Amino acid sequence: MNPNKCAIGVDVGGSHLCSAVIDLDRKELCTAPVLTPMDSSGPADAILACFKENLLGTMKVFGRKVSKIGLAFPGPFDYEKGIPWMEQKFQHLYGMDMPKELRKQLDSPKIQFKFINDASAFALGECFCGSGKDRKRVIALTLGTGVGSGFVADGKLDEHSERVPEGGEVWNLPFEDTIVDASFSTRWVVKRYKELTGKDVPGAKEVSQAVPTEPEARQLFREYGARLATFVTPWLKKFGADTLVLGGNISRNFPHFSETLLAGIPEGVEVRTSTLLDQAAMIGAASLFKE
């Protein structure tokens, strides 16, 4: 294994950091993921200390320093310069030069940093060594508390061509009487279940558990699949996609909505669920350093 062909991938979440060393030639993890709890609303010094603990911990497991680190961050974020512009999560990092501050924390002025949106990192990770690794044109959607997206052509992220929405983002596109983020996220599942049954549930998991006994739960997922097909089909056609990759917590219910989704999308498009799961964004961030 050549350490020069390795990079650290970091998945930056609201409550934790998760990182590992990725062998970019073998397309596999060199180390077990290191998880560090973190409060994204905490003071900057505390957050930076978590980054230091996490990254040094991963290097310790690896047994040597790594000079390339890719980080998957939620937005808004200037990914080219490495500057967060979030006003809720990570509000105390607002406007901070992250590469500069992280080099200080690690006492390593020569470390290279690259930053990417977390949903885009998921898409790249799945196309690097997951569900989309053998496919040419992939649309990846993360379905959970919100809706993330990534458009990948021949292993490269497409965010600016005329074949994708602005920035490659679909969450804010109009759908029905609202936007995509409200139409296919956990909020919709909870709201629709309440409409059908009069019962409150915290998330999609509880609706999934009700499928064997409640026709309303089965109806909900049938509706979800049909509506998702209606939304994504124009983009599958416009992008020329051969594959749709689904991730996020709601994708775990794919068996419940696969029939109506598959019936509504263009013939020849294959639908796959994530194989990398929680490691996809981490791997995708590291893959920014592939040659």
Dihedral angle sign, alpha carbons of residues 77, 281, 24, 133: negative
Tell me whether residue 243 is in a domain: yes
pLDDT in tens, 32-73: 999 999 999 999 999 999 999 999 999 999 988 889 999 999
Q: Are residues 103 and 208 in the same domain?
A: no
Mean pLDDT of the chain: 94
The reported pLDDT for the residue numbered 246 is: 97
Q: Can you give the CATH number for the domain in which 113 is found?
A: 3.30.420.40
Tell me whether residue 198 is in a domain: yes
Residue pair 255/9 in contact by the 8 Å Cβ criterion:
no
Q: Are residues 270 and 139 in the same domain?
A: yes
pLDDT in tens, 116-139: 999 999 999 999 999 999 999 999
Q: Are residues 20 and 34 in the same domain?
A: yes
- List Cβ<8 Å contacts ≥24 apart for 264-267: 264/225, 264/226, 264/228, 264/229, 264/230, 264/233, 265/229, 265/232, 265/233, 265/236, 266/233, 266/236, 266/237
Instruction: Tell me which DSSP letter residue 236 carries.
Output: H
pLDDT in tens, 267-282: 999 999 999 999 999 9
Q: Are residues 157 and 102 in the same domain?
A: no
Please identify which residue in the block is written with the tokens 């080099």.
Answer: 103
The reported pLDDT for the residue numbered 88 is: 82
Domain of 11, in residue numbers: 3-120+280-289
Q: Report residue 1's pLDDT band, with 50, 70 and 90 as the boundaries.
A: low
Tell me whether residue 14 is in a domain: yes
Dihedral angle sign, alpha carbons of residues 132, 28, 83, 12: positive
Q: Are residues 106 and 150 in the same domain?
A: no
Tell me whether residue 50 is in a domain: yes
Tell me whether residue 285 is in a domain: yes
243: three-class secondary structure by DSSP: strand
Q: Are residues 150 and 264 in the same domain?
A: yes
Please identify which residue in the block is written with the tokens 């977390």.
Answer: 118
Q: Are residues 100 and 142 in the same domain?
A: no
Q: Are residues 285 and 268 in the same domain?
A: no
User: What does the DSSP assignment read for 24-78?
Assistant: TTTTEESSPPEEEE--TTS-HHHHHHHHHHHHHHHHHHHTS--SEEEEEE-SSEE
Q: Are residues 186 and 244 in the same domain?
A: yes
Cα angle 201, 205, 209 (rounded to 5 degrees) comes to 95
pLDDT in tens, 158-198: 999 999 999 999 999 999 999 999 999 999 999 999 999 99
Tell me whether residue 216 is in a domain: yes
Q: Are residues 200 and 253 in the same domain?
A: yes
User: What does the DSSP assignment read for 84-97?
Assistant: E--SBTBGGGTT--
CA distances from 224 to 101, 176, 289 (A): 43, 13, 37
Q: Report residue 241's pLDDT band, with 50, 70 and 90 as the boundaries.
A: very high
Q: Are residues 200 and 214 in the same domain?
A: yes
Beta-ladder partners of 141: 149, 246
Q: Are residues 157 and 103 in the same domain?
A: no
Tell me whether residue 125 is in a domain: no
Total number of domains constituting the chain: 2
pLDDT in tens, 197-207: 999 999 999 99
Alpha-carbon distance 171 to 185, whole Å?
10
Tell me whether residue 226 is in a domain: yes
Q: Which helix (H) or strand (E) holds 150?
A: strand 147-153
- Whether the full predicted model's pTM is greater than 0.85, yes or no, is yes
Count of positions (residues) in the chain: 291
132: three-class secondary structure by DSSP: coil
